[in-house]
Structure 1
């Protein structure tokens, strides 16, 4: 997909690298992955005085960190995530101020739109648990919802609305955060895949990159859809899969809808360029590969619940993390899967693009024909209980993993980056991370899915 003139994405593999730091012999902290969490980890580590480097196989923010909806929300999150999401919102505001507004952060409010009383009951149940944690969310009736959004002909009977939720501009914000991290002392090296971990006497002591080895006092893995592949090479298995999610941007339109919203069919939010980012709600596509088969049992409860609109697609494309031909084992001196596919860039679902534009136009007829400016897709790293994995890896002391964001990574990224930086230094994270521990998949615990909101 080639964007129109003036509409530049950072995830084109023909762009030259912006960050090409020399590979040092040793650092205090090595971060694997140049997405929003990896970049924020480096930023906060640098602020703490650590010598830190981000190692990115492709380009900063080239995968899901630039392809998401741009929501910075507390609404609808798992209760264990809410305190972290609230911290993230404050960090986003601070970081945007530091970057002189270039991150595109703005309070727009987020609404989950109900088509029936059952939807409203689900929203009410979430709010009962979330209200004591300090959220600003409230329930709106049909008239209040129509007034908020100006959708006089909509079928919505009400909404869960959080006025303090925000948005950012992903493919602008994350590269800007990378520049900020560099300005504050972090090193970033794009086009430098990590082939594996250096493990000595049972302790992670660094990484092996395609450009050579690097000693590190600690390592943070924030590799998104690729994290489980690197972990598996070192004997650690997590039931992480990745699903394709389609999104699009309209050309500039009348700004009659200043809030973000989503129902069971489509999502929308205003953009800084005068258009709207649209997406087909919770619709996603799973390409079948070895891990999808291996972890089927873990995902069955979600599959049979009917709460997630996931469509199975035939074979995972060549080079994808879960493709049948993707190696699970390789030597340190051999080319890794991370070098064979620098940027994971799936094509969008064209039918869903057309359908979503039509639905937005039908609900907001004042927008006109909703001209398309660009469409794209990304691979979202998911877990069977719809909450991430964050924390140390017991089998690999010295390694902290932050992955499986389940589509929540952009908005919550600064807080999980701050947490990862503190964990790497042996500091208390400031939040209860038990819900996110990696051992929940191996210690006999019953998995409790997070909310499908």
Structure 2
């Protein structure tokens, strides 16, 4: 059962024109819309289903710098500042709490990886530091088992996916943005060799710029335009407990479980050591590009072939603007939670912190992540289609960096000085 997001009353009227159209009403598209609206730039967000209906409301809510690629850290650091400002900016609680994130290691090999990462980012001035087992116990009392140590970043935090997107959407609309749900974009219109509008299931909207923030659907949308975006889907299963007394407000990640406090007093838990990799045609088409990543993470992937493969195969990869698109056939990607993985996560957590023996499951769900070959997003223009900018492929990190990612995308769309150097996110790196 998917999480229920705070309700938002969006528009039902389709404008004939605007300056910027954003395809996708997830949190990155919404933060971009908020940024543009604050700059008095007319913007329309078009969402095929409900805003934040897919991964934007189904993620873990972690806002972290710890263990990110060095090139991705400036975006995460900018996001920290923007998350802290977000409640005042949108006039609502988005669940942001700067309670820290800790990763713990079972052996010296895992500990060496944390140490190597920390050494590699020393110049960035992070507050991350290594922990002994005794220090883990001081920060998170009641720990059991043999732990080699950990790494802790007190300035990391968390937010509430079911609150944040709704609050950002409300604020964007209050500042002039138009958001329309249940309105899929089928393709782009072009004139004179550049984008001139979008064709939706309800008609055309003329515009000067388009930002594609379509998450896992971006690859299929671009494929219909002859553009190859290399992303593959992975599915993460999650559970939420009923309110309970827990050991800490710090979010904790171990090799085979993680937990963080939920705003209602329960905990969000997942199996960090396993993701479902439901095979699709794209796994075979893109295999060579992902081979290094697949080799490094093979033990983390639960590979299977079943109905997901055939359901995906049924969806068109090419279609005409006057035909029903795949985005109208599947409004929301809603995979079932993997009970086996969730049960395993809770079992492993209880062995480490016995206080979770009292945990009772309130809800379980799953979400599909769009992963790039280097696990970093694409935020930047498509050179072959002037007027089209991408903000997609976030590889499970989109919620945490969304305020900065959305602002960076908005900066690039309107030609402003970018909030951070966009070079690491260039689409051309996959050419």
SS in 1 for 2:308: coil
Greater Cα shift, 284-293 or 231-240: 284-293
| Structure 1 position 305, deviation (Å) | 2.2
Match of 1:353 in 2: 342
Q: In the alignment, is residue 420 of structure 1 matched against residue 415 of structure 2?
A: no
| Structure 1 position 101, deviation (Å) | 5.0
Q: In the alignment, is residue 112 of structure 1 matched against residue 107 of structure 2?
A: no
What TM-score comes out, normalization by structure 1 length?
0.92
Q: 1:397 to 1:308 in 2, by over 3 A?
A: farther
SS in 1 for 2:390: strand
Q: Specify which of 239, 246, 270 is matched with residue 230 of structure 2.
A: 239
SS in 1 for 2:207: strand
Q: Distance in 2 between matches of 1:400 and 1:34?
A: 15
| Structure 1 position 221, deviation (Å) | 0.3
Match of 2:249 in 1: 258
Q: Distance in 2 between matches of 1:82 and 1:304?
A: 25
Q: 1:306 to 1:58 in 2, by over 3 A?
A: closer
Q: Distance in 1 between matches of 2:266 and 2:146?
A: 24
Q: How big is each residue's C-alpha offset from its partner over 1:254-297, in whole Å with a ceiling of 9 and x where there is no partner?
A: 03222101111001101110000000014211222211110011
1:81-160 superposed matches below 5 A: 81-100=72-91, 102-160=93-151
Q: How big is each residue's C-alpha offset from its partner over 1:346-387, in whole Å with a ceiling of 9 and x where there is no partner?
A: 000011111112222222212333100000000001011111
| Structure 1 position 27, deviation (Å) | 0.7
Q: Distance in 2 between matches of 1:316 and 1:408?
A: 27
SS in 2 for 1:27: coil
Do the aligned residues in 1 keep the contact of 2:235 with 2:275 (CA within 8 Å)? yes
Runs of 4+ with deviation above 3 angstroms: 98-101
| Structure 1 position 154, deviation (Å) | 3.1
Match of 2:351 in 1: 362
Q: 1:96 to 1:36 in 2, by over 3 A?
A: same
Q: In the alignment, is residue 9 of structure 1 matched against residue 4 of structure 2?
A: yes
Q: In the alignment, is residue 196 of structure 1 matched against residue 183 of structure 2?
A: no
RMSD: 1.7
Match of 2:323 in 1: 334
Do the aligned residues in 1 keep the contact of 2:281 with 2:309 (CA within 8 Å)? no
| Structure 1 position 299, deviation (Å) | 1.2
SS in 1 for 2:208: strand
Do the aligned residues in 1 keep the contact of 2:279 with 2:309 (CA within 8 Å)? no
| Structure 1 position 99, deviation (Å) | 4.0
Q: How big is each residue's C-alpha offset from its partner over 1:311-336, in whole Å with a ceiling of 9 and x where there is no partner?
A: 2110452786xx11110111111110
* Structure 2: 5+ residue stretches without partners: none
Do the aligned residues in 1 keep the contact of 2:142 with 2:247 (CA within 8 Å)? no
Do the aligned residues in 1 keep the contact of 2:47 with 2:180 (CA within 8 Å)? yes
Do the aligned residues in 1 keep the contact of 2:278 with 2:309 (CA within 8 Å)? no
Q: In the alignment, is residue 434 of structure 1 matched against residue 429 of structure 2?
A: no
Q: Specify which of 28, 50, 58 is matched with residue 59 of structure 1.
A: 50
Q: How big is each residue's C-alpha offset from its partner over 1:169-191, in whole Å with a ceiling of 9 and x where there is no partner?
A: 10111111111111111110000
SS in 2 for 1:413: helix
Q: How big is each residue's C-alpha offset from its partner over 1:126-180, in whole Å with a ceiling of 9 and x where there is no partner?
A: 1112221121101111110111111331322211100010101101111111111
Do the aligned residues in 2 keep the contact of 1:251 with 1:275 (CA within 8 Å)? yes
Q: Distance in 2 between matches of 1:287 and 1:262?
A: 24
Q: Distance in 1 between matches of 2:244 and 2:143?
A: 18
Greater Cα shift, 116-125 or 93-102: 93-102
Q: In the alignment, is residue 390 of structure 1 matched against residue 390 of structure 2?
A: no
Do the aligned residues in 1 keep the contact of 2:91 with 2:171 (CA within 8 Å)? no
Q: In the alignment, is residue 299 of structure 1 matched against residue 290 of structure 2?
A: yes
SS in 2 for 1:26: coil
SS in 2 for 1:317: helix
Q: Distance in 2 between matches of 1:101 and 1:156?
A: 39
Do the aligned residues in 1 keep the contact of 2:279 with 2:308 (CA within 8 Å)? no
Structure with greater proportional helix content: 2
What TM-score comes out, normalization by structure 2 length?
0.96
Q: Distance in 1 between matches of 2:133 and 2:173?
A: 48
Q: Distance in 1 between matches of 2:181 and 2:110?
A: 44
| Structure 1 position 241, deviation (Å) | 0.9
Greater Cα shift, 364-373 or 138-147: 364-373
Q: How big is each residue's C-alpha offset from its partner over 1:394-438, in whole Å with a ceiling of 9 and x where there is no partner?
A: 111101101110110001001010011111112231322222111
Aligned residues: 431
| Structure 1 position 199, deviation (Å) | 1.5
SS in 2 for 1:161: strand
Q: Distance in 1 between matches of 2:187 and 2:274?
A: 34
Do the aligned residues in 1 keep the contact of 2:10 with 2:180 (CA within 8 Å)? yes
